[in-house]
Structure 1
Amino acid sequence: MSSPAPRIGVSFSALVAVVLLGLVAMTAVGVGVALNLPWLSIAAGLAVAGSMVGLVWARVLAELNR
C-alpha cells in the first residue's frame, strides 16, 4: 500500500506563482548583471526576496487556518 503524499499546507497555485516569480526575478538579476544595469539587479533581487517572503507567509497563513 502506498502512503499518501505529505501535506505541506500551501496551495499548489501559490507554490507555482512563487516559483515562477522567483525564476523571472532571478533571470532579471542575470540580465541586469550582464547589461551592467544595477537598478535592474537590485529590483529583481528584491523580487526574489519578496517571493521567498511570500512563500513563508503562505505557509504561516495555512498553519493559522488549519
Structure 2
Amino acid sequence: MTNYVTRAGIQTDPALAAFVEREVLGPLGHDANNFWEGFASLLGDGHSVHGLGNIAKCFSLK
C-alpha cells in the first residue's frame, strides 16, 4: 500500500512531490505552494484547455 502526501488537496506519491519540489521548482526559484495550488486549480477545471492558463500563471517569469 502506498502512502501519499497531500499538496493543495491533491494526494500524490511522496517521491513525485519531492522531485517536483526539490529537483524542478527549487532550482528554478519557484514556490512549491504556488505550483501545487495552480496544479490543483487546473485539475479542478476538468483538464480543459482553458485550465492551462493556470499553469502558465504558475510559471510566469517576472
| TM-score (normalised: structure 2) | 0.46
Q: Which has the higher contact order (CA 8 A, sep 6+)?
A: 1
Q: Which structure has more strand as a fraction of its residues? A: 2
Q: Which structure has more helix as a fraction of its residues? A: 1
Which of these two proteins has the greater Rg computed from alpha carbons? 1
| TM-score (normalised: structure 1) | 0.44
